[in-house]
Amino acid sequence: MSLFKPVLVTMRVVDMAVRAVLTFRLRALFVISAVGLGIASLTLIVAAVDGAQQRAREVVDRFGPEAAFILGGDIQSRAVGQRTLTLSWQDAETLRQSLPGAYMVVPMRAKRDVKLKYQSESVDLPVVVGATQNYADAWDWPLAEGRDLTRRDVDLGAKVGLIGNTPAHKLFGDKSPLGRTVFINDVPIQIVGLLSYRGGSTGGGGDLDDRLIIPLTTLTQRFNMDRKYFRALRVKFYDPQYMDAYAENLKSLLRHLHNLKPGEPDDFTILTPETILKFLSMLTGSLVAFLGVTATVAILVGGFVLANLFYLSVSERTQEIGLKKACGAKSRDIMIQFLAESVILTLAGAVLGVALGVGIGQALTSLGVLKIELSSRVLIYSLLAALVIGVLFGLRPARRAAAMNPIEALRGG
């Protein structure tokens, strides 16, 4: 019996705490609301960080762990007047023949904002990409129908193209686009391949599937572009575990081809899965810092509201405390009761906060402002935070109640 007595006493004290919370409903509502706002901020942080990490993994998977993407110009310095057309056909050919570990090199250039027409229908196309053979393989982008661009298409400047899922659906509905001729600025292009639906967005937030791919030679000839240089290169390597070494070799070879002297900055930018992850981690860190400060402030405000209302509650319930002590309640029991009230209120605030945070997160996701990923971590962190708030900010008022002299308390303090 002696082993169960502390348990029974604790259960009775907790029961009294629940009754007290239900008795002072308005005060409980204030505390739950204040704590709930703080927990909602915490919920958004955890869900947003998980969402950002999930997005980073998707971006890297889509980019390809064995690939590198080279852009002309230094995109980090963004110097005024910087030349971005620094990659040449000679670079591509030398990389193809001499870069260790590389088995595919695909030059690319783009023409933005063109009108794509088919008979009486037309759509605004964000981008037409000029590329060499094996574009679909280079981007691990399977074809739903037809074939990829070939070396012959590039050599002849053929008027053929691969169409993305979005313009194909807009122009042809459920019908096959293969063999049909579309026009971009009055240039006829026969569709020879349909890219499968990929989903996701471009770096600028556009639809990744909203594009047309034609031979690079066709693009530069028909749109009167520089035929010696292009904007980007996609390079694929045999073994992704040597990507650091591949990137170093790539950088050294390009610097040599561009006659860059030691100490002179690169006139190109190499993107690998690691550099993309670092960039995304930096963005995630900024997000965590901003939301972390906001959540900390909100949680502290909730804690101070809890402490102040509990001090007020202790003052108002002096005679109740004195009566319980006169009936045999120990100081420890009084402290446990007030702490239990505090924790019950903060846990209720946690439940409200999680629901509020999830609701706000879903609304932001539907608006495209933020991507959130809900996991068990959200609930665990929220409950732990609520428990800490309840104990930390409820301890001092509870100790004050426990330390009251029963006789003075019965007299009304």
For the stretch 165-188, pLDDT in tens is 999 999 999 899 999 999 998 899
Average pLDDT, the chain: 85
In 3D, which of 5, 19, 28, 31 has the Cα closest to residue 324?
19
Q: Residue 129's pLDDT band (boundaries 50, 70, 90)?
A: very high
In 3D, which of 56, 57, 53 has the Cα closest to residue 45?
53
pLDDT attached to residue 234: 93
Distance CA 340, CA 319 (A): 19
In 3D, which of 91, 119, 92 has the Cα closest to residue 105?
92
Query: Among 117-121, 207-211, 277-281, 394-398, where is mean pLDDT lowest?
Result: 277-281
| 45, 288 Cβ separation under 8 angstroms | yes
Average pLDDT over every residue of 379-405: 85
Both tokens assigned to 12: 């009775």
Q: Which residue has the higher pLDDT, 10 or 150?
A: 150
Both tokens assigned to 408: 């003075």
Q: Residue 213's pLDDT band (boundaries 50, 70, 90)?
A: very high
Distance CA 112, CA 359 (A): 38
Residues 6+ apart with CB under 8 A from 55: 280, 371
SS3 258: coil
Q: Could you tell me which residues are beta bridge partners of residue 26?
A: none
pLDDT attached to residue 15: 80
Please give the distance of CA 142 from its chain centroid, rounded to a whole number.
26
57-73 pLDDT, tens digit per residue, is 777 788 888 899 999 98
Vertex 305 angle, CA 304 and 311, to 5°:
85
87-116 pLDDT, tens digit per residue, is 999 999 999 998 999 999 999 999 999 999
12-67 pLDDT, tens digit per residue, is 777 877 887 788 778 788 888 888 888 887 787 778 777 777 777 777 788 888 89
Sequence ranges of the domains in the chain? 4-59+278-411, 84-266
pLDDT attached to residue 2: 58
320-338 pLDDT, tens digit per residue, is 888 887 887 788 888 888 8
Checking if the pLDDT of 407 tops 80, the result is no
Checking if the pLDDT of 413 tops 60, the result is no
Average pLDDT over every residue of 213-238: 91
Phi first, then psi, for residue 194 (nearest 5°) are -115, 120
pLDDT attached to residue 340: 86
Q: Which residue has the higher pLDDT, 63 or 192?
A: 192
Distance CA 301, CA 298 (A): 5
